[in-house]
Amino acid sequence: PARGLPNPIRPDPPLFAPVVFDDDDDGPRRPFRPRFGGGDGGGGGEGGRGPGRGRYESDAGLLRVLVLIGVLGIVILALVLPFSPISVVGGGDEESPNGISAHVSDNMPAMPEGLVALSKLYEIDVQEGITGPLSVEVQLTENSTDSSNLAYYAWDGSTWTRVGSVQLAAGGGSVTGSIPAQSASIAVLRRTALAHSMAMIVGPNETPDPDGLSAASLIVVTAGTLDEGGALQVESAALRSAQQVAGDRPVYLGVSGTVQGDGGSLVDDIVAAAEGQDAGGVYVELQGVSGTQLYTTLAEQLHAAQRQLIVGVPAGGDDDWSGILGIADGLWVQAPLNPTEYYATVESLLSEHGVSDTSKVSIVLDRRSAIVTGDQPVAPITLIEGLTIASSVDFNVDAIGAGSPVTLRTAYLGGSADGQLHWDDAAEAVSFTYTADGTESTIWFQNQYSFGFALQAAARGGFGGVAVRTAAAGGSQPNVWEPVAQFVEEGTVSLLRPYGPYLTPCWEAPDGAIEGQPECWTTETDTTAVVWRAPDEQGAYTVRLVVSEGTTFVGQEVVLRVGETPDNAEPTETPTPEPTETATPEPTEEPTDTPTPEPTEEPTETATPTATATPTATATQTPAPTSTAGPPGPGGN
């Protein structure tokens, strides 16, 4: 254990969404070969529910979620950890039959400067042995329509500590959110003095993620693009979805593209579009701009129309940052997608560009993960797409006899330590490297842990705020809003790394047996290759491979036929389908302290659904070799 601390106590094992379906194809198969594109990954949708059958038929309470990614018996499935809900509503004592009780306290302490109480103080008593976060609803002393900077705070007798984000319930009479499963005195407080600002960037007609909205002061909708001729194209009513939930927050029109020549009528067109969309201002990410004259003219016209201008620039560009800050109302620096490059440069960016007043400068961070293949540019990839690659199964079996052993391997995990899911100290993120068709690729996973480190680095670099890209509700993006809220409200971030054993692949077989594998997610034993002992009876049987980057568990299920000999001896490739999108619940995790900061209390994450993304397609990929070497850890919480 890191720093001599004991392993954290794990909750009950994750539960699988029951997914069973027929596989009418005979013969061996190559592993799923994913493809992914350059979309923004911000969309989401509702998928169908799989009909649980067989031995999972009784699990009616489980969330049944699946995404078909191959017609030959491979699915993506999701896991969710146990969850213990309670409700605490004002007006008296509340008691739960699950060993959790709450009552109103008469000893509300005086509020320090910068904090305002919106509820009474509640004493919550939690019996020993209860794990997982508690879902709590607290009644406010007065109805509110403003959800900004609200949170649950715990009082320890001398200090208020933020313990969880909240959402304003319909009608504004109460809030809902999650807190750690421990006895505490809690209240709903609003922080009025903020350390940093936060903006959300969404696509046209997208709704900002409600989990992040309370900490946001600005919303940008990227609805404007420049075509090949440099003309502005704006989707009709593209800001409406964001405006409906924004409250008092301004909603800006985002415009991106390459300027042709001097821009011609571009400035007039942008101002007219902002007025037509009833935008509070404009955010531009423009290439081909020489000097600052275009920004000067645009700012003057927007200010005359009672609107503001924010200019986005790449971290590695040669723009005149100080000059732009003298013209515009804000400067947003687009962080590189490669996290190792980000950490190598972010702390010195502002000083190198001669920026002294950083209050109007924000760093733009993306919720998407990243992949680099060979010498190609780093590209965004969704969390689910990355985990889908990691959870691919490699098996090449001509025939399986009853009771016989079958070797199963991970298709892309294995080899050296870099080939396993592990925490990359240079990238401050979970990553793995694999080889396909002779070309090496590396995936860095973005989640709440990596985002916390990125925010801390931005704070060290002097940035006054953060703009979160791909911030729409739904989709398959990680929930990063807790560290973001800490960054905004308190100026500090609890730096945590994922629980080490969660990075170890887990194999499960409803029938037959996985031989020699320890209990899943308890150790870091290498499980990139295992032996499945087939049942004694002929038939079709499923085996699952489940992987995680520490917050989200994604698996693939393969169907093996026992007692049947396929017509062909060579494996056949699984066709790439059009999967349906579904909500992927996130498990409760057990993160660990990083070695660098002061140890923090063990956070546990509420299982919050996120939609799985469609793994969209590229090159065929050959399984990487399997071997030993596991990720670092585990550490104490």
- Tens of pLDDT along 259-312? 998 888 999 999 999 999 999 999 999 999 989 999 999 999 999 999 999 999
Q: Which DSSP string do the residues of 452-463 spell out, in sequence order?
A: HHHHHHHHHTT-
Q: What is the pLDDT of residue 435?
A: 93
Q: What is the pLDDT of residue 87?
A: 60
CA 557 to chain centre: 23
Alpha-carbon separation of residue 626 from 468, 529, 550 (angstroms): 37, 7, 21
Cα–Cα distance between 254 and 269 in angstroms, integer? Answer: 13
Question: Among residues 540, 617, 542, 511, which one has the least CA distance to residue 573?
Answer: 617
pLDDT at 40 over 80: no
- Tens of pLDDT along 542-590? 999 999 999 999 999 999 999 854 444 343 333 333 333 333 334 444 4
Cα–Cα distance between 319 and 308 in angstroms, integer? Answer: 20
- Tens of pLDDT along 305-332? 999 999 999 998 889 999 999 999 999 9
Report yes or no on whether pTM surpasses 0.95. Answer: no
Q: Given pLDDT bands bounded at 50, 70 and 90, which one contains residue 94? A: low
Question: Among residues 434, 610, 510, 559, which one has the least CA distance to residue 68?
Answer: 559
Cα-based angle 53, 57, 60 (whole degrees, multiple of 5): 130
Q: Using the 8-state DSSP alphabet, how is residue 10 labeled? A: P
Minimum mean pLDDT among 119-133, 477-491, 516-530: which range?
A: 119-133
Provide the token pair at 545.
């491979």
Question: Among residues 46, 18, 60, 42, which one has the least CA distance to residue 368?
Answer: 42
Minimum mean pLDDT among 221-230, 302-311, 465-474, 560-569: which range?
A: 560-569
Q: Given pLDDT bands bounded at 50, 70 and 90, which one contains residue 98? A: low
Helices and strands in the chain: count of H runs, count of E runs:
10, 38
Provide the token pair at 490.
């308190």
Question: Among residues 623, 437, 443, 632, which one has the least CA distance to residue 529?
Answer: 623
pLDDT at 68 over 60: no
How close are the terminal C-alpha atoms of the chain, in Å? 10
Beta bridge partners of 219: 200, 251
Percent of the residues in the chain that have a pLDDT greater than 90, as a whole number = 55
| Mean model confidence pLDDT for the chain | 78
Percent of the residues in the chain that have a pLDDT greater than 70, as a whole number = 73
Q: What is the pLDDT of residue 204?
A: 97
Q: Given pLDDT bands bounded at 50, 70 and 90, which one contains residue 483? A: very high
Minimum mean pLDDT among 290-299, 317-326, 416-425, 616-625: which range?
A: 616-625
What integer is the mean pLDDT of 499-505? 95
pLDDT at 444 over 50: yes
Q: How many CB atoms lie under 10 A from the CB of residue 53?
A: 12
Q: Given pLDDT bands bounded at 50, 70 and 90, which one contains residue 113? A: confident
- Tens of pLDDT along 382-415? 999 999 999 999 877 778 899 999 999 999 998 8
Q: How many CB atoms lie under 10 A from the CB of residue 306?
A: 9
Q: Given pLDDT bands bounded at 50, 70 and 90, which one contains residue 426? A: very high
Minimum mean pLDDT among 21-25, 221-225, 523-527: which range?
A: 21-25
Q: What is the pLDDT of residue 96?
A: 52
Q: What is the pLDDT of residue 128?
A: 82
pLDDT at 486 over 50: yes
More confident residue, 250 or 61: 250
Q: Given pLDDT bands bounded at 50, 70 and 90, which one contains residue 126? A: confident
User: Residue 178 corresponds to which amino acid?
Assistant: S
